[in-house]
Structure 1
Amino acid sequence: MIKVLIVDDSALVRKLFGGVFGNDPEFEIQFAPNGLEALEKLKVFKPNVITLDVQMPGMNGLDCLDLIMLEKPTPVVMVSTLTAEGAEATLDALRLGAVDFVTKPGGAVSMRMAEFAPVLLEKVRTAATVKVRASARLRERIRHHASISGTTGLRSRPKDQAPALAPETGERLVVVGTSTGGPPALEALLTTLPAGFPWPIVIAQHMPASFTGPLARRLDSICNIRVQEVRSPTVLKPGTAYIGRGDADVIVTRRAGALLAMAAPAEASYPWHPSTNRLVQSAAEHVAPRQLVGILMTGMGDDGASAMAELRTLGGTTIAEAEETAVIWGMPGELVKRGGAKWVEPLPRIADRLMSLVSVHASDS
């Protein structure tokens, strides 16, 4: 039995969500119309998962989430809108410890529940398997406050003045795939890299299109390297991370001798978007596999596992996030099960491993 607390100020949404879970004997549900009642039910009902509206009057979803994670850490799935404001708030929620998010159907919500219900059920079932680590969440919050107050040393050198770590010969590239739990994982990885990181990084993060732009801008504001969303064909440059636009795929290609990242229409043969499998396959077509590094981090499903396993077979280097730090060990776990991970590292050590690989390649140049 999965106990679900539905927190939303809309009576209609509570009714519709209640219908989704109430028709399945696997779930026991209770409701709260606001954050204060949610905190009371947290103590009495002791839910396994909470669905939490981002925007509520009085105590909003972020303030409520903050207190949940301090008082009784519980897996939370945020319920967001597809607006810019909703995207920013959702990214804040993921940093504060929310496991995942769903976006409310647009227009008449009741008319689209048949399409929305399976997504909600899958995300809540997945969230119920997650063990929320209060200590990790606290470390992340302290780190975030330090970064915005300027005490971490980030941005110690302007991005446009940062020298490369070492001279490079030949094109080298890092490709990264992640899904559930990905934004905080990307932050942990990218904020650790120096401004002079000598290779481009291309990222497939499963997200809607309205979220990947704000994610890229947020990461760019706190990282030493540049971070940008791929909206059009873009020449890949060292010291820059390129995040694929949501609801599409991001691929690597070549034009006039230059290596580019570009958005490509989502293909039905790839179930998740932006697709990590498609990204890695395209990269291996244009860069020698031995000069590619693939990193697969937290996320449900198996996107990226087959392509990165093949990459390792062809001579590429692959890193999988360890189970101990992954919010969901689906994607990296599948890579490990297939024998496709050269290195299995907890999240705080992935950047160190990547930097050691950079040093090795530089010495071989």
Structure 2
Amino acid sequence: MGIINVLVVDDSAFMRKMIAEILQSHPRINVIGTARNGQDALEKIAQLKPDVVTLDVEMPIMDGISTLREIMMHNPIPVIMLSSLTKEGANKTLESMELGAIDFITKPSGSISLNIQEKEAEIKTKVLHAVNAKAEKLTKTKPKKTIIAPFAASHIHKNENKDVIVGIGTSTGGPRALQQVITRLPKDIPAPIVIVQHMPAGFTKSLAKRLNSMSQLTVKEAEDQEILQKGTAYIAPGGYQFRVVRTIKGLQAKVAKEEPRNGHQPSVDVLFESLAKLKEEQVYAVMMTGMGADGANSLITLKREKSNTIIFSESKETCIVYGMPQAAEKTNLVDYVVRLPEISELLVSQIKARGE
């Protein structure tokens, strides 16, 4: 529980001052320095050796993405990005997550947000959590992606009465983790995949589009009342709760603006509790990297209502933040604790085994 030294990087003198004051007001956080652009930041990191960096996406001379790439390739430390709520800001934020940024904070009103104090609690909380997160070194060569074999006709449950649905819950570090899981699944997986990724409105649509462009599956943002299709992954829209219900037409998405559950909208607990009410379906629940405990209570409900539910939890070894998987494992209901690169393969093998 020592002091966390933070470097604040932003091209706006006003933003540097405001963010530094917000952080400095916490007894465990010390702003060790500030930088006005990426080039300045790299020099300050080498000189000051901060524990955490807050990094603006849009900057002159060297922007946030280029700076982040240099940090993660040569001196990986936890980085939190600050970005605008624009479509371009969302795309750049997701790119930064792929490069290894731990988390991001949206500026409420553009690059110079006079109301940045609205984000005070979030800024402090994310810095406090980031110091314990894993910052992985970025390599120039991308790891070879193993393509999982498609489902043979015999695997698609000809003799099974129950359909299959896969639920995934994730938060901090989730975009990068989802990329490793979703892009490896075969397009003929005989199940819809429903996902809660803690993100604000606007970012989940960009995430869905990005994953869709990389995947064999169709990946999209869930829409209210649409009928869920096998071989499609549905991401809960930011700022809405996402449920699945059984109708005469099939499984249907219910997307509604509600109160947050334990601070989250979308919430993993809300989604997984809806899966527990599905009488006919075999449920596979996957809990991946993220801070907090969202989803743990609904795993208890799932196992109580549907004892044949299979629960996977990402192992501590590969989690960016071990909070949500750790909370899941503390329920003593997790069937498999799995390293991130192996989740897709084990999930597919479990589903295939049901059809043999």
Q: TM-score of the superposition, structure 2-length normalised?
A: 0.92
Q: Which amino acid aligns with 2:296?
A: A
Q: Secondary structure at the match of 1:263?
A: strand
**Would you say 1:111 and 2:115 are equivalent positions?**
yes
Find the residue that maps to 1:132 and give its secondary structure.
coil
Retained in 1: the 8 A contact 2:239–2:265? yes
Q: Compute the displacement of 1:232 (Å).
A: 2.5
Instruction: Please state how far the C-alpha of 1:336 moved relative to its aligned partner.
Output: 0.4
Distance 2:24 2:194 in 1: 42
What root-mean-square deviation, in Å, do the aligned CA atoms of Structure 1 and Structure 2 show?
Answer: 2.1
Task: Give the partner amino acid of 2:16.
Answer: R
* SS at structure 2 position matched to 1:234: coil
Q: Distance in 1 between matches of 2:152 and 2:342?
A: 24
What displacement does 1:119 show? 0.3
Q: What corresponds to 1:24 in structure 2? A: 26
1:299 counterpart letter in structure 2: G
Aligned to 1:317: 310
1:93-133 Cα offsets, whole Å, 9 max, x none, are: 000000000001227833351x2101000001100111312
The one-letter code sitting in structure 2 at the alignment partner of 1:26 is R
1:171 is displaced (CA, Å) by 1.8
Q: 1:2 to 1:355 in 2, by over 3 A?
A: same
3-state DSSP of counterpart to 2:277 = helix
Are 1:208 and 2:200 matched, yes or no? yes
Matched residues in 2 for 1:217 and 1:97: separation?
19
Q: Could you tell me how far apart the structure 1 residues matched to 2:113 and 2:134 are?
A: 31
Q: Structure 1: where are the runs of 5+ without partners?
A: 147-151
Shift of 1:310: 2.8
Aligned residue type for 2:167: V
Aligned partner (choices 231, 242, 245) of residue 250 of structure 1:
242
In the aligned structure 2, how far is the partner of 1:346 from the partner of 1:57? Answer: 39
User: Equivalent residue for 2:139?
Assistant: 138
Identity in percent:
38
Q: CA deviation at 1:156?
A: 11
Counterpart of 1:167 (choices 144, 156, 174) is 156
Task: Tell me the distance in 2 between the aligned counterparts of 1:256 and 1:31.
Answer: 59
The structure carrying a bigger helix percent of its residues is: 1
1:88 aligns with 2:91: yes
AA of the residue aligned to 2:5: K
1:346 equivalent to 2:339? Answer: yes
Could you report, residue by residue, the CA deviation over 1:225-252 in whole angstroms, capped at 9, with x for unpaired residues? 1101013322111111000100111110
Aligned equivalent of 2:355, options 351, 355, 362:
362
1:1-365 maps to which residues of 2 (within 5 A)?
Answer: 1-29=3-31, 30-106=33-109, 109-113=113-117, 115-134=118-137, 137-138=138-139, 142-143=142-143, 166-168=155-157, 169=160, 170-288=162-280, 291-313=282-304, 314-315=306-307, 316-363=309-356
Greater RCO structure (CA 8 Å; 6+ sep): 2
Partner Cα distance (2:131, 2:101) in 1:
12
Separation (CA, whole Å) in 2 of partners of 1:320 and 1:155 = 20
Taking the aligned partners of 2:347 and 2:42, their CA distance within structure 1 comes to: 41
Q: Which moved more, 1:25-34 or 1:304-313?
A: 304-313
Q: Check whether the contact 2:260–2:267 (CA below 8 A) recurs between aligned residues.
A: no
Aligned equivalents of 2:146 and 2:132: distance in 1?
Answer: 36
Instruction: State the AA in 2 paired with 1:267.
Output: E
Contact persistence 1:80–1:86 (CA under 8 A): yes
Cα distance in 1 between the residues matched to 2:44 and 2:299: 44
